[in-house]
Amino acid sequence: MTENLTTTVSSKSQTVEISRNLPTVIIGERINPTGRKKLQAALEENNFTIVRQDALDQVAAGATILDVNAGIPDGDEPVLLKEAVRIVMEATDVPLCIDTADPDALSAALSIYEGKALVNSVNGEERSLGEMLPLVKEYGAAVIGLCMDDDGIPESPEKRLTVAAKIIERASKLGIGPEDIVIDPLVLTMGADHNAGRITLETTELVVKEFGVNITMGASNVSFGLPDRMHINAAFMAMAIHAGLTCPITNPLVTELTTAVLAADLAMGRDEWGTRWIEAFRSREKSD
CA dist 110 and 173 (Å) reads 21
Q: 125 in helix, strand or coil? A: coil
Strand 142-146 relative to strand 118-123: parallel, antiparallel, unpaired? parallel
Say if residues 271 and 241 touch (Cβ distance below 8 Å). Answer: no
What's the fold here for domain 7-287?
Answer: TIM Barrel (3.20.20)
pLDDT digits (tens, 9 = 90+) for 199-254: 999 999 999 999 999 999 998 999 999 999 999 999 999 999 999 999 999 999 99
Dihedral sign for Cα 94, 104, 35, 148, please: negative
Q: pLDDT exceeding 90 applies to what percent of the chain?
A: 96
Instruction: Kindly state the DSSP code that residue 69 receives in the 8-state scheme.
Output: -
Q: Is 152 exposed, middle or buried (0-12, 13-18, 19+ CB in 10 A)?
A: exposed
- Phi and psi at 166, nearest 5°, equal -65, -45
Interval 28-58: pLDDT, tens: 999 999 989 999 999 999 999 999 999 999 9
> What are the extents of the domains in the chain?
7-287
Q: pTM of the full predicted structure? A: 0.96
